[in-house]
Amino acid sequence: MSSEAKAAENYVEKPKTLAELRAEFVSGQTKAVDLAASYYDRIASVNPRLNVYLSLTKERALEQAARVDALAAKGDPLPLLAGVPVGIKDVLVMKGAPATAGSKILEGYRPPYDATAVAKLEAAGAVLLGKINCDEFAMGSSNENSAYGPVRNPVDTERVPGGSSGGSAAAVAANMAVATLGSDTGGSIRQPASFCGVVGVLPTYGRVSRYGLIAFASSLDRVGPFAAHVRDAATLLGVIAGNDPKDATSSPAPVPDFAAESDKPAEGLRIGVPAEYFAEGLDPEVRAAIEKGIAALKAAGCTVKPVSLPNTKYAVPVYYLIATAEASANLARFDGVRYGYRSPASETLSDMYSHSRDEGFGAEVKRRILLGTYALSAGYYDAYYLKAQQVRRLLAEEYLRAFAEVDAIVTPTAPTAAFKLGEKTGDPLAMYLADIYTVTASLAGICGVTVPCGKTAAGLPVGMQVLAAHLNEGTAFRVARAVEAAGI
C-alpha cells in the first residue's frame, strides 16, 4: 500500500484554523462541548492504530468547553484560544493527570500542579484533551523508546513519527487535536514536525517557562507548540511565552504579537543557506524539496546568500556529551523513594535503588545515564564535558556572526524523510545522527520553526527548518509563512 493510501486511513482534512474555529463559536455555529466530543470520538477511532494518547482528561476538558459555551451564549468576549482542543506531551505535568514521561519509573504518578505552559493554555480558553505519548524522558528520535509502545506516523503507519515529541506531531497530523505542546532538547519538536508534515516551533531558550516540564537536559530543554498552520503556531507561542518567576531561566524580554509578525511579508529579508547542511548524507529527495522552498523564498522577494557554519560537524558529539551529562544529574531523583515505581525485589536500601532504576528505566535512558556519568567522572570531566561546553560556545558565536549578515537561515530539518519502525533501533549512532541538523540550534539557544516543504515520491513529508537569532521568532514565522504560502 502506498504512503498516500495509508495516510487516507488516518488523515482527515487539516484541523481548522484558530480564526475559523473562533468565528464558529462566536456565531453559535459550533459548540465547544460538541467539538471536544467529536475529538474524543476521533481519538477513540484512530488511537488504537497510532498509539498517540496515553491518557485522557475528559472531565476537565468538557468542563472547560462548557465554560466557553456559556461565555459565547452571553455574548461575552472569548479568550484567544477559546474552545480549541489541545493535547499535551506527557513530559509536561497536569494536575491530577498521569505524568509518565513515557517511562515505567513514573507509573502511577499524578502531579498536584500544572506546568506553567499548560496553565497558560487553559487560561486562554484551550480545551485540554489529554496526555500524549513520547520517547522515555524525551530521549529519542523515533518515539520507539516509550515504555507504552511506539507511536506510528499517520502518513505511513509502518514508519516512525519522529521523536521525542512524535505523539504530539502525529496528533496534529491525524487531526486528533487542533494543536499540541511538545518539548525540544535536540530536535524533538522540529524533527517530528518534519516527519509528520506539520508546523513545529523551537522557541529561544528561556522564551517559554520550563516549570512543570520533567527535566532531561536543563540547559537545552524547551517547550513549544505544534499546529497545522504557521499563524496558529505563532498564536500558540504568544500564549505560552513570557517570564515566569517559577523558572529562573525564563527570559524577562517582552513577548511580541507573533501572529501579527507572521502576517508581515518576507520580502526584503536576507536568507542564509549553509553549505554544511547540504553535504554528504542528505537524501536527494529532501535536498530537492528544500531547494524548491529556497526558490519560493526568492520568488517572495527574499535575498538568498551562502553562509558558513564550519563547527556544525562537531555538534552531534558535543550535544550527546552535554545532554547526557545533564540527564545523569537530573534523573538521579528517580530512585524509588519519593514517587513512581519501586521494585518489590529489594531487601536493602541499596538494592531498592539499583533494582528500581534498572527495572524502571528503559535501555536508551540507561545508556544515556551511563554516558553522562562517565563524561562527568573524575579524570574525564575536562576531556569530555568541559571541552564540549567550550565547543558549544564556538557554535553559538558562529551563529551570532552569521546573523550579523542574514535575517534567517534555512536548512533541511532532517537528512531523510520518516524511516521505518525498527530500522535504526539496533544502531544508536545511526539514530543519534538523525538529529544532525537540529542539535546546533539547540546548543546555540536560538529559535526556529519547521514548516512543511513538499513530499518525497512516496508521499512522505519533508520539512524546512527556519532558524533566527535569539528572541527573533517573528522573523522565523515570516519566512515559514512564505514557504507555507508557496504550497510546495
- The closest of 148, 143, 147, 149 to 170, measured between CA atoms, is 143
Cell of 186: 535536540
Note if 89 is an active site residue: yes
Preceding omega of 164 cis (within 30 degrees of 0): yes
C-alpha–C-alpha distance, residues 330 and 282, integer Å: 34
C-alpha–C-alpha distance, residues 300 and 481, integer Å: 11
- Considering 89, 131, 424, 455, which one is annotated as catalytic? 89
Note if 387 is an active site residue: no
- Considering 164, 168, 209, 328, which one is annotated as catalytic? 164
Tell me which long-range contacts 38-43 makes (C-beta under 8 A, separation of at least 24): 39/85, 39/129, 39/176, 39/177, 40/129, 42/12, 42/175, 42/176, 43/129, 43/130, 43/176
Write the CB contacts of 437 (distance below 8 Å, at least 6 apart in sequence). Answer: 187, 277, 411, 412, 413, 414, 415, 465
Pairing of strands 199-202, 270-274: unpaired
CA-angle at 176, arms to 171 and 181, nearest 5° = 45
- Helix residue ranges per DSSP H, 216-283: 230-240, 258-263
Q: What is the four-CA torsion angle of 209, 484, 301, 203, rounded to 10 degrees? A: 10
- Considering 146, 165, 183, 188, which one is annotated as catalytic? 188
Residue corresponding to grid cell 519502525: 421
Note if 16 is an active site residue: no
C-alpha–C-alpha distance, residues 364 and 217, integer Å: 15
Enzyme catalytic residues: 89, 164, 188
